[in-house]
Chains A and B, each alone.
Chain A
Amino acid sequence: MSEATHNHSADQKELISFRIGQQEFCVDIMAVREIRGWTPATPLPQTPAFVRGVINLRGAVLPIVDLAARLGLGTVEPTARHVIIVVRIGEQMVGLLVDAVCDILTVTEAMLQPTPDVACDQVKSFVKGIMAIEGRMISLITLDRVLPSLEAEAA
């Protein structure tokens, strides 16, 4: 954990960064409800491969999205060392399966660079922009499209 700077001002926001493979991503901390360890999920039929299934989150049924698979980074069999970041997307709660949580970052809008054109479509639709922080490249994830949409399933 590196040290986060805490001088708040209007355009600053806090992000939680996490690691998938060798890449680092982050999401807005306001969307994050909790972070918990991996527990085996119940697989769902008729579901894209990146949905690992559902787990019991204190009585609620929580779908788990394998973010690595969602971003096209391949799947790994989760172990007890994997982490689930529970986020709120609209009215729904979703668990994001990631390798590890790294840091809490305080950033400003100005630090966000547009996603370069090299990225493939799949990445581009989830990555809102990238940031260079302490020599690391961190991609900001948009959560809206993380869950499979109904239209996509119908097609």
Chain B
Amino acid sequence: MDPLAAIRDTFFQECEEQLAELESGLLAMEAGDRDSETINAVFRAVHSVKGGAGAFGLEALVRFSHVFETTLDDLRSGKLEVEDAIIKTMLRAADLLADHVRAARDGGGVDEGRSQAVAEELTALAPGGHGPDDASEEEEDLMGGMVFQPLSVDIGPLEPLADLPPLEFAPLELGEEPPLVDDEVLEGLKTWTIRFKPKRALYANANEASLLLRELDRLGLTTVTLDLEALPPLGQFDPEEPYLAWEVALETEADEAAIRDVFEFVEGDCDLHVQRPAQAAPAPAAAASDILPELPPPAPQEIDVAALIARAQEAAQILDPVAASAPAPAAARAGPPKAVEPPAAAGAPPAATIRVDLERVDRLINLVGELVINQAMLAQRIDGAGLARANDIAMGLDDLEQLTREIQDSVMAIRAQPVKSVFQRMPRLVREVAAMTGKRVRLVTDGEGTEVDKTVIERLTDPITHMIRNAIDHGLESPEARAAAGKPEEGTVKLTALHRGGRIVIEVKDDGQGINRPRVRQLAVDKGLIAAEAVLTDEEIDNLIFMPGFSTASSVSDISGRGVGMDVVKRSIQALGGRIAISSTPGSGSTFTLSLPLTLAVLDGMVVSVCGQTLVAPLSGIIETLQPKENEVRRLGPNATLIAIRETYVPLIDIGAVLGYRTEPVDPTAGVALLVESENGARAALLVDAIQGQRQVVIKSLESNYRHIVGIAAATILGDGRVALILDVDAVVSRRGEPAPALAAAG
């Protein structure tokens, strides 16, 4: 990849983060958080997007984000009151900004009309009434208006003065200059004085003073003055030492934080003083010389702007020997700049993070998986060699096992991420679906910090999206219907994530009408999914919506009916070892519960044998194990067997028969039963021949080289190097009563 493309990629990655930040900030504001920190965070997000977009020349993006930023700035400076209506507009603008970013990244366009409309809406909010044209003009202005030209500074006269004390600058006119206010200058315009003196590190880190000055220029009208004071005689030039400093008089509405933001990335690499407008007047230049005690000069440096030239020439004059007799700078320290603490002091620095290519992490995880297998293999072989447990080798092996497991845990933790990234996409979805259906919806999220493996996160978006669409489209009633039913007009969809039993559970709960069971049943009969006379429990009726080809909407709607039914959602989740279940109360809403393993890479399992085969049953589903006794086992009908467990009868399922390993019924009392609970709460006892032990196993996909097999979740590799199959407990439980399909297919 060429370097620019790589930087571009990084920019877009960061854009996504900024957009997420923006959205969560706006949502916090919507929820009533009007804290200035929140507003600042929102502003910064848009500002960063704009800044980056400018660097890549993404004009449409710059233009839109500029309009957005301007309005946010008004909000930030308190010129605009935070109101719900404004936040709504902002949220729409955030959606559109996301569209712009994506359009810039993937090519393609943005709905211009919509973009224009939102931009106008934004500008209409602004109290000063920056017109949209105003904004774009300003934009062009700042792109084209600033001319950078090399400026040579005659420093000849300095030479004889090499050992003289620091020179005094004549008080800069700057502060006294009447602010260059023209007609369009708005109220609240203040003139800030910013002194900026780069240190060597600033240039060493590939930052560029002129870019920072240009960035300042974006904030308002700038008058830049070059401070040559630190220039040493030519003979003492150190080409790598920065000697220049600048003083900028900035007329802007922006506040100090915005100004400091400009220097955010060079913080610590420069001396920066931002002086409040009230104190702008007193001769600041001399104070600058105080801040810059060391001798500096530039490598031939580009200096900015025509106005500067005049200042520079003036400065050169000041450097004339005549000025050499000037008193020490202390005299000029009259108005010590009210240097404000750098923003870093404001909050604890965020934990350091690095970006790592996911492939590298995956490779590491695979390798650790191999290590686990190898370690198990080694353990088995040493066991086989008949060494005593207390043997040094065996003890070393125990340590190795512990280390291996720790490494595995640590590596898995690298990929663990909070589900926040998925949840953050949902508010927009809710807004869009709500707008399309004409319903009023409030999305409540909970448990955003719940961590889950990255691979799982990626697979969560689609099902959650679908469940939320479904909840709004089918679950919630129209505002009128809700009002008629005595409910608040605004429906609530609650999205929750939590850890339960080594899995992540996602719940989508709505307070809508619930499942219309008679209608669902009728539809299923109409579509031939069930027999007309079938007797179904409520739960079974609810689960009909997961059947292929089922859709409860009377018309295939734009939102839910995109050709993907709940059956597809269910299947894709099952393919991941996940489950989806629904519960519903007529009149008060439905809850979809989705559960997935925390990681798709390892699993704690119980190793069992059936008909000479070794199988692994996921430990998460197993409640207890028991030895069936003669008097507990009962037969029901021709095929079914039940087992009594503390007064309750649950189906006893012979794994050997289900998987087609044997056809003859076996004596249950000779085996061991695993009492399991499936995702929808159904319990069953799985009959196996023997339990070998518990082990953490590395999940290997069967699908990658073969295909999915009903009843088998995946495969793993055991210590002896052989493949063992991992049972899909839920699928096995749900097949209860059905004759083993395995045999039929195997023939």
> Which B residues are in CB contact (< 8 Å) with A60?
700, 704-705
Q: Does B485 touch A at the CB level, under 8 Å? A: no
Q: Does A49 touch B at the CB level, under 8 Å? A: yes
Q: Are A63 and B706 in contact (CB under 8 A)?
A: yes
Q: Are A47 and B704 in contact (CB under 8 A)?
A: no
In the complex, what residue of chain A is closest to B710 when comparing beta carbons?
Answer: A46
Q: Does A62 touch B at the CB level, under 8 Å? A: yes
Q: Are A54 and B702 in contact (CB under 8 A)?
A: yes
Binds B, one of A10-18, A36-44, A119-127: A36-44
Q: Does A23 touch B at the CB level, under 8 Å? A: no
Proximity string of chain A (64-105) to chain B, C-beta cutoff 8 Å, 1 when within and 0 when not: 000000000000000000000000000111100000000000
Q: Does A116 touch B at the CB level, under 8 Å? A: no
Q: Does B468 touch A at the CB level, under 8 Å? A: no
Q: Does B721 touch A at the CB level, under 8 Å? A: yes
Q: Does A113 touch B at the CB level, under 8 Å? A: no
With A56-B717, A56-B721 as contacts: A46 and B742 at CB distance below 8 Å: yes
Which of B705, B707, B709, B746 is packed against the most chain A CB atoms within 10 Å?
Answer: B705
Min CB distance A6 to B, Å, is 33
Q: How many A-B residue pairs have CB under 8 A?
A: 87
Proximity string of chain B (710-736) to chain A, C-beta cutoff 8 Å, 1 when within and 0 when not: 111001010001111100000000000
| Assembled-state Cα–Cα distance A19/B660 (Å) | 31
Q: Does B369 touch A at the CB level, under 8 Å? A: yes
| Assembled-state Cα–Cα distance A46/B717 (Å) | 20
Q: Are A49 and B702 in contact (CB under 8 A)?
A: no
Our pick among A48, A91, A150 for the contact of B746 (Cβ within 8 Å) is A48
Our pick among A46, A59, A61 for the contact of B660 (Cβ within 8 Å) is A46
| Assembled-state Cα–Cα distance A61/B723 (Å) | 7
Q: Are B366 and A59 in contact (CB under 8 A)?
A: yes
> Which B residues are in CB contact (< 8 Å) with A56?
717, 721-723
Q: Are B705 and A61 in contact (CB under 8 A)?
A: yes
Min CB distance A42 to B, Å, is 4
Q: Are B722 and A59 in contact (CB under 8 A)?
A: no
Q: Does A135 touch B at the CB level, under 8 Å? A: no
Q: Are B745 and A42 in contact (CB under 8 A)?
A: no
Known: A45-B709, A92-B706. 10 other contacts (CB 8 A): A42-B613, A44-B712, A45-B658, A47-B745, A47-B746, A55-B722, A59-B366, A61-B715, A62-B705, A63-B705
Q: Are A46 and B707 in contact (CB under 8 A)?
A: no
9 A-B residue pairings within 8 Å (CB atoms):
A42-B614, A46-B709, A55-B723, A56-B723, A61-B700, A61-B704, A61-B717, A94-B705, A148-B707
| Assembled-state Cα–Cα distance A40/B715 (Å) | 16
| Assembled-state Cα–Cα distance A92/B27 (Å) | 46
> Which B residues are in CB contact (< 8 Å) with A42?
613-614, 715, 722-725
> Which B residues are in CB contact (< 8 Å) with A51?
706
Q: Are B711 and A46 in contact (CB under 8 A)?
A: yes
| Assembled-state Cα–Cα distance A59/B366 (Å) | 9
Q: Does A147 touch B at the CB level, under 8 Å? A: yes
Q: Does A109 touch B at the CB level, under 8 Å? A: no
Q: Does A153 touch B at the CB level, under 8 Å? A: yes
Proximity string of chain B (349-379) to chain A, C-beta cutoff 8 Å, 1 when within and 0 when not: 0000000000000000010011001000000
| Assembled-state Cα–Cα distance A54/B705 (Å) | 10
| Assembled-state Cα–Cα distance A9/B682 (Å) | 66
Closest 6 CB pairs of A and B: A45-B659, A45-B742, A42-B723, A46-B745, A63-B706, A46-B742
Q: Are B707 and A150 in contact (CB under 8 A)?
A: yes
In the complex, what residue of chain A is closest to B611 when comparing beta carbons?
Answer: A43
Our pick among B373, B702, B717, B745 for the contact of A153 (Cβ within 8 Å) is B745
| Assembled-state Cα–Cα distance A51/B710 (Å) | 16
Our pick among B613, B702, B742 for the contact of A61 (Cβ within 8 Å) is B702
Q: Does B696 touch A at the CB level, under 8 Å? A: no
> Which A residues are in CB contact (< 8 Å) with B702?
44, 54, 61
Q: Does B239 touch A at the CB level, under 8 Å? A: no
With A45-B709, A46-B710, A59-B700 as contacts: A40 and B722 at CB distance below 8 Å: yes
> Which A residues are in CB contact (< 8 Å) with B658?
45
> Which A residues are in CB contact (< 8 Å) with B136?
none
Q: Does B661 touch A at the CB level, under 8 Å? A: yes
Q: Does B77 touch A at the CB level, under 8 Å? A: no
| Assembled-state Cα–Cα distance A148/B705 (Å) | 12
> Which A residues are in CB contact (< 8 Å) with B710?
46
| Assembled-state Cα–Cα distance A33/B702 (Å) | 19
Min CB distance A46 to B, Å, is 4
Our pick among A40, A59, A62 for the contact of B373 (Cβ within 8 Å) is A59
> Which B residues are in CB contact (< 8 Å) with A93?
705
Which of A41, A43, A94, A153 is packed against the most chain B CB atoms within 10 Å?
Answer: A43
Min CB distance A34 to B, Å, is 14
Q: Does B741 touch A at the CB level, under 8 Å? A: yes
With A59-B370, A61-B700 as contacts: A45 and B712 at CB distance below 8 Å: yes
Q: Are B706 and A61 in contact (CB under 8 A)?
A: yes
Q: Does B701 touch A at the CB level, under 8 Å? A: yes
| Assembled-state Cα–Cα distance A63/B741 (Å) | 20
Min CB distance B125 to A, Å, is 53
> Which A residues are in CB contact (< 8 Å) with B660?
45-46
> Which A residues are in CB contact (< 8 Å) with B370?
59
| Assembled-state Cα–Cα distance A91/B706 (Å) | 10
Min CB distance A133 to B, Å, is 32
Which of B370, B704, B707, B741 is packed against the most chain A CB atoms within 10 Å?
Answer: B707
Min CB distance A36 to B, Å, is 13
In the complex, what residue of chain A is closest to B706 when comparing beta carbons?
Answer: A63
In the complex, what residue of chain A is closest to B720 when comparing beta carbons?
Answer: A56
Min CB distance B617 to A, Å, is 15
Q: Are B613 and A46 in contact (CB under 8 A)?
A: no
> Which A residues are in CB contact (< 8 Å) with B706?
44, 51, 54, 61, 63, 92, 147
> Which B residues are in CB contact (< 8 Å) with A47?
709, 745-746
In the complex, what residue of chain B is closest to A58 when comparing beta carbons?
Answer: B370
Min CB distance B519 to A, Å, is 30
| Assembled-state Cα–Cα distance A42/B715 (Å) | 10
Our pick among B366, B369, B661, B723 for the contact of A45 (Cβ within 8 Å) is B661
Min CB distance B372 to A, Å, is 11
Min CB distance B611 to A, Å, is 10
> Which B residues are in CB contact (< 8 Å) with A53?
723
Min CB distance A146 to B, Å, is 12
Q: Are B704 and A49 in contact (CB under 8 A)?
A: no
Tell me the chain B residues, 512-532 only, with Cβ under 8 Å from chain A. none
Q: Are A45 and B701 in contact (CB under 8 A)?
A: no
Q: Are B704 and A92 in contact (CB under 8 A)?
A: yes
| Assembled-state Cα–Cα distance A43/B702 (Å) | 12
> Which B residues are in CB contact (< 8 Å) with A150?
707
| Assembled-state Cα–Cα distance A45/B723 (Å) | 14
| Assembled-state Cα–Cα distance A62/B712 (Å) | 16
Q: Are A54 and B369 in contact (CB under 8 A)?
A: no
| Assembled-state Cα–Cα distance A40/B722 (Å) | 8
In the complex, what residue of chain B is closest to A89 when comparing beta carbons?
Answer: B705
> Which B residues are in CB contact (< 8 Å) with A41?
723
In the complex, what residue of chain A is closest to B740 when comparing beta carbons?
Answer: A45
